[in-house]
C-alpha cells in the first residue's frame, strides 16, 4: 500500500505554488543583424520587473 501524503507536505506545496505565481516567462523577438531573421529569447522574470526588463535592451 502507498503512504498517504502528510499534511505538512501539502502546506509546503501550497506555499511553493503561491510563490511560483510571482514569476513570468518573457519571450522577446530579436532580429539578427547578420541575416535579418528573428530569433526568440525566453527568460523567467519576477512579475514586478517585467516592464523594466522589456524596456532595457
Structure confidence at residue 8 (pLDDT): 64
| Main-chain dihedrals φ then ψ at residue 17, nearest 5 degrees | -70, -35
Whether 30 maps to a domain, the answer reads yes
Q: What is the pLDDT tens value at each position of the chain, 57 positions in all?
A: 566 666 666 666 777 777 888 899 999 999 999 999 999 999 999 999 999 988 985
How many distinct structural domains can be found in the chain?
Answer: 1
Whether 27 maps to a domain, the answer reads yes
DSSP letter (8 states) at residue 57 = -
Whether 54 maps to a domain, the answer reads yes
Residue 28 CA, distance from chain mean position: 13
Q: Give residue 44's domain range.
A: 23-57
Residue pointed to by grid coordinates 511560483: 20
DSSP letter (8 states) at residue 49 = G
Whether 14 maps to a domain, the answer reads no
CB 44 within 8 A of CB 23: yes
Amino acid at each position: 500500500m502507498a503512504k498517504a501524503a502528510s499534511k505538512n507536505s501539502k502546506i509546503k506545496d501550497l506555499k511553493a505554488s503561491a510563490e511560483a505565481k510571482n514569476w513570468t516567462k518573457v519571450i522577446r523577438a530579436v532580429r539578427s543583424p547578420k541575416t535579418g531573421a528573428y530569433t526568440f529569447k525566453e527568460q523567467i522574470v519576477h512579475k514586478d520587473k517585467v516592464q523594466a526588463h522589456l524596456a532595457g535592451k
